Amino acid sequence: MAVLRVRHCRALLYCRRAPPRCPACGGDLRGAGLASAPVRLDSPFRHGHRQPRAFLVRPTRGTFLDGYDGHCDLHVGISSSQGVVYNYDQEGVHRDGRGWEQCISIPLVQPDMWELLQHWDSLLEEFSLEQAWLPHRYEEQQHNCFTLALAFINRVRQGRGGPALSKAEFTERFLLARSRDAARYLRLQQQLAHSDVYVVPLAEHEQEQESLPGSHSPLE
């Protein structure tokens, strides 16, 4: 179900359905004006098979909104122009047409990257066939799904004359802000599973805010 946000009396009220009165101050919300109108929050999760040419993250088992506790392993992949997700595990490279319906998504190719738009699928397929991604080369900590995804991104970056990104640099620049947004959204979902309204004082909310993910592509 959707999450709504209502701003009132120096507090943010998160709910599924806006209450008639503010639980923080008791004021009437129905006549509080446009400033207190409910706003639907965008989900940070995307249907991965509808996200072409993207870096995708999902739980290894289940989905973010169904049982994910913040501690389970995550799995990553790269999508083709048609939403087929290339990903790597102990069985080798998979090309998934389903199973990535709820992901954190980082778009990789900008509309002005004409050559990549044309050749993305062939580059991805050729890369996935390299010896490095055979099943026996898989190692859970050092040579895994993230290794394949970042190595492909770096291959494309270097082909465009850019430097390679380390795992730490990629995470800091492109993944961390989206992961924090997802974590906040999951906390709201958990709170609303036990309460009709979750109240956050504005001062606390402002302290939690991070800068929004930038529009730069990891390939730039």
Model confidence pLDDT, tens digit, residues 119-156: 999 999 999 999 999 999 999 999 999 999 999 999 99
Model confidence pLDDT, tens digit, residues 58-80: 999 989 998 788 778 999 999 99
pLDDT confidence of residue 35? 80
pLDDT confidence of residue 214? 55
DSSP string, the chain: ---EEEEETTEEEEESS--SB-TTT--BSTTS-GGG--EEPPPS-B-GGGS-SEEEEEESSSBTTBB--S-S-EEEEEE-TTSPEEEEETTEEEEESSS-SSBEEEE---TT-HHHHHHHHHHHHHHHTSGGGSGGG-BTTTBSHHHHHHHHHHHHHHHTTPPPPPHHHHIIIIIHHHHHHHHHHHHHHHHHTT-SEEEEEHHHHHHH--PPPPS--TT-
pLDDT confidence of residue 211? 47
pLDDT confidence of residue 217? 81
pLDDT confidence of residue 71? 78
Predicted TM-score of the model (pTM): 0.89
Burial letters 71-103, b for 16+ CB under 10 A, else e = eeeebbbbbbeebbbbbbeeeebbebeebbebb
Burial status of residue 158 (CB atoms within 10 A of its CB: 0-12, 13-18, 19 or more): exposed
Alpha carbons 64 and 44: distance in angstroms, whole number: 10
Burial status of residue 34 (CB atoms within 10 A of its CB: 0-12, 13-18, 19 or more): exposed
Each residue's pLDDT, cut to its tens digit, for the chain (220 residues) gives 789 999 998 899 999 999 999 998 898 888 778 888 999 999 999 999 999 999 999 999 989 998 788 778 999 999 999 999 999 999 999 999 999 999 999 999 999 999 999 999 999 999 999 999 999 999 999 999 999 999 999 999 999 999 999 999 999 999 999 999 999 999 999 999 999 999 999 876 554 554 455 557 888 7
